[in-house]
Amino acid sequence: VIVVDAQTSSRSYRITVGHGLLTSLDGLWEGVIAPRRVVVCCDATVAALYLDPVRESLAAAGLDVIALVIPPGEGEKSPQRLALIYDRLYDESITRTDAVVSLGGGVVGDLAGYAAATYLRGVRFVQVPTTLLAMVDASVGGKVAVDFRSGKNHIGTFYQPWLVVADLDTLRTLPDAEMRSGGAEVVKYALLGGGALLERVERYAGSGVLPDEEIVATCVREKVTVVARDEREESGARALLNLGHTVGHAIEAATGFEGYSHGQAVGLGLRAMLWLSERCTGLDRAAAARGQRLLTSMGLPERLEDVSTDDVVGLISRDKKAVGGGVKYVLLRELGVPAPRETVAPGLEREVVEWLAHR
Amino acid sequence: VIVVDAQTSSRSYRITVGHGLLTSLDGLWEGVIAPRRVVVCCDATVAALYLDPVRESLAAAGLDVIALVIPPGEGEKSPQRLALIYDRLYDESITRTDAVVSLGGGVVGDLAGYAAATYLRGVRFVQVPTTLLAMVDASVGGKVAVDFRSGKNHIGTFYQPWLVVADLDTLRTLPDAEMRSGGAEVVKYALLGGGALLERVERYAGSGVLPDEEIVATCVREKVTVVARDEREESGARALLNLGHTVGHAIEAATGFEGYSHGQAVGLGLRAMLWLSERCTGLDRAAAARGQRLLTSMGLPERLEDVSTDDVVGLISRDKKAVGGGVKYVLLRELGVPAPRETVAPGLEREVVEWLAHR
């Protein structure tokens, strides 16, 4: 078991990474929260796999467990589903000192977390990520949200959990595509961190085994360090975590969030970022190639397919307009040395998307 | 002009109290925020009085002003109205660095503030209270919320404004009943603070003139001091501000939020609290009588009328259950010396409500 401490201005909390943790949640939160009632929120897929053991272990500890099972899919991260969750919390007379536990991936974590953040101005909240993506990214750092109209995460807030429990055993049932999706974020941390983390991720990516405690905990540590400097995305430090995401989001949006998973799109975004870094911030060719190889060995897409490059370029420009005329890209000077606020000539934006489609 | 500085863990900001401030908002926020677009949210009553001058002064400063006028009334503090506000912010492509200005009383401040807190995880937010109640209470401290089903403020968060501008000139158009409603909160601060504030409020309450900068700023200072110690209602310090509110809320709820205004109900709650303090925390009889006189000279109700005392007592007990078996009352040992966490025998709760109805 590895424990990572997260410190933010609003709350400090522990992220526990290990095996066999799912049935000892109440032991892990002892001394941190003391709920009488626990609302376990998960989707139907995760419920079939893990709800019973979680429920039984909490019930055995004398807790009153309420299961809140939602259909799977990003579509549930909606104001409509949120209202149904509020209804349930209201009907069950949940109080601030009771707990909402999100058991699952990023969708459930964001949705249940937003409900927990805003019901009664905040009830106790525990993240139990069961996907690699949620373990290394969504469950840590306090971003919670629902989608609104065509805006991803358009209604949200920052609400740190009271604790995060990442049970690596849950990754055994994770579909390969989901594992690769999480792998893209792992590569992101490796490129940002460089050095030993990069080498460790390179060994892992080629191995075909599940990520170990050290890989997950190191990624979490990277994220926690950045979040501690800029909890509410105000100073700009947190923007580092957007490495690969500007182009990635445009690709997701251009395919109506259906052609590529978030992770695949981020993987393509990271490829674009390596290409741009070579041209704009002096990343050397061998380093860029090393990054591209890592993305390939993680099983991420080689190129952009079945998407109009014009649409992608258009969406990048729209994003830029939305933030007042200047998206700054996170690029790399070297592997492990980010350049956080670079502008890129519009011509190059088109060129990199064309390169992605035809490489 | 008096400026009060508020410091909380999430944000520091200035509360400016004075005359003729409504048409110089952009000057007051210079160096603090730099919006390109400003959404001014107010109800139709306030719009008729103050929207034009505010809009014109902002437009003259080159800002793009969007008026968002809602019907008056507590009923608008609803998830439905909130969704319409989100729609408008979305349609207008508002960004995080644009500003939402709430112009009005507590309802608009809570509603617009909650929208500002959660749209894009938080856009710049400015409170411009135009009622005494909002000036001394709702606009300061970051509590924003909407009602949900029968739960007042059941969906909410803590979101500090970037600045607060209290223009005392707006009180000239405030109906007497509203002024008395704010007066109840002013009395609350006077009882909590004692000393010079109490004497100043006593002079004001009898005078028939509008509250001056010093009265308003001193109340704001009291609030800001408490909020700085406990921004998110976690340590219990903030509970001090609930003086008179437990019984007050029960009275409001027992009349379906129609029999008494919030301020009148809080006034009755303060009377109950003085009575209980005499019996439980040794407040001396002369001090309790002095508090009762102040409530009377502020024009607040003498007794509980047209309400079932059983209903009020029942609602107090339900509140207690909701927080896990123990509402603690804020009582007073002396005027200016609160006793923040007192339990009261159930028999006394019934007795004080009966006393309120038959005094």
Which H or E element spans position B39? strand B37-43
Beta bridge partners of A126: A101, A163
Q: Is A154 a catalytic residue?
A: no
Rounded average pLDDT over A310-325: 72
Tell me, what's the pLDDT at A339? Answer: 93
Residue with tokens 């460790």: A200
Taking contacts as CB-CB distances below 8 angstroms, the residues of chain B near A155 are 86, 118-119
Range from A339-348, B76-85, B205-214 carrying the lowest mean pLDDT: A339-348
Q: Is B115 left (phi over 0), alpha (psi -120 to 50) or beta?
A: alpha
Confidence of residue A324 (pLDDT cuts 50, 70, 90): low
A-interface mutation test, from B13, B32, B155, most A Cβ less than 10 A away: B155
Predicted confidence (pLDDT) at residue B285 exceeds the cutoff of 90 = yes
Candidates A28, A47, A19, A72; CA nearest to A213 is A19
Predicted confidence (pLDDT) at residue B224 exceeds the cutoff of 80 = yes
Rounded average pLDDT over B80-96: 97
Torsion A131-A133-A136-A137 (CA) sign: negative
CA distance, residue B152 to nearest chain A CA (Å): 9
Tell me, what's the pLDDT at B323? Answer: 55
Identify the active-site residue in A76, A231, A242, A271. Answer: A242
Taking contacts as CB-CB distances below 8 angstroms, the residues of chain A near B151 are 90
Contact yes or no for B271/B331 (Cβ under 8 A):
no
Residue A78 contacts B where some CB pair is shorter than 8 Å: no
Q: Is A302 a catalytic residue?
A: no
Range from A60-74, A140-154, A313-327 carrying the lowest mean pLDDT: A313-327
User: What distance in Å separates the CA atoms of residue A357 and residue A351, rounded to the nearest whole number?
Assistant: 10
User: What distance in Å separates the CA atoms of residue A66 and residue A54, rounded to the nearest whole number?
Assistant: 11
Tell me, what's the pLDDT at B325? Answer: 53
Secondary structure (3-state) at B20: coil
pLDDT tens for residues B298-347? 999 999 999 999 999 988 877 655 555 567 899 999 999 999 888 888 78
* Global confidence as pTM: 0.94
Which H or E element spans position B152? strand B151-158
**Residues B93, A322: C-beta atoms closer than 8 Å:** yes
Residue A323 contacts B where some CB pair is shorter than 8 Å: yes
Rounded average pLDDT over A28-40: 97
Candidates B113, B226, B125, B107; CA nearest to B178 is B107
pLDDT tens for residues A258-267? 889 889 999 9
CA distance, residue B83 to nearest chain A CA (Å): 9
Confidence of residue B236 (pLDDT cuts 50, 70, 90): confident
pLDDT tens for residues B237-258? 898 999 999 899 999 989 887 8
Share of chain A above pLDDT 70, in %: 97
Predicted confidence (pLDDT) at residue B183 exceeds the cutoff of 90 = yes
User: In what side-by-side order are the strands of the sheet with B37-43?
Assistant: B2-7, B12-18, B163-167, B124-129, B99-104, B37-43, B64-70
Within 8 A by CB and 6+ apart from A30, the residues are none
CA distance, residue B125 to nearest chain A CA (Å): 14
Q: Is A223 a catalytic residue?
A: yes
Residue B97 contacts A where some CB pair is shorter than 8 Å: yes
Q: Is A336 left (phi over 0), alpha (psi -120 to 50) or beta?
A: left
User: What distance in Å separates the CA atoms of residue A313 and residue A349, rounded to the nearest whole number?
Assistant: 7
Share of chain A above pLDDT 90, in %: 83
Confidence of residue A319 (pLDDT cuts 50, 70, 90): low
Predicted confidence (pLDDT) at residue A54 exceeds the cutoff of 80 = yes
**Rg, C-alpha atoms of chain B:** 20
Q: Is A153 a catalytic residue?
A: no
User: What distance in Å separates the CA atoms of residue B107 and residue A110, rounded to the nearest whole number?
Assistant: 28
Secondary structure (3-state) at B94: coil
ipTM: 0.93
**Residues B324, A97: C-beta atoms closer than 8 Å:** yes
**Residues B95, A145: C-beta atoms closer than 8 Å:** no
Predicted confidence (pLDDT) at residue A72 exceeds the cutoff of 70 = yes
Average pLDDT, chain B: 94
Residue B322 contacts A where some CB pair is shorter than 8 Å: yes
pLDDT tens for residues A243-254? 999 899 999 989
CA distance, residue A225 to nearest chain B CA (Å): 18
A·B CB contacts under 8 A: 77
User: What distance in Å separates the CA atoms of residue A50 and residue A105, rounded to the nearest whole number?
Assistant: 13
Taking contacts as CB-CB distances below 8 angstroms, the residues of chain A near B10 are 9-10, 232
Confidence of residue B208 (pLDDT cuts 50, 70, 90): confident
Predicted confidence (pLDDT) at residue A322 exceeds the cutoff of 70 = no
User: What distance in Å separates the CA atoms of residue A243 and residue A351, rounded to the nearest whole number?
Assistant: 19
Candidates A275, A348, A341, A289; CA nearest to A316 is A348
Q: Is A152 a catalytic residue?
A: no
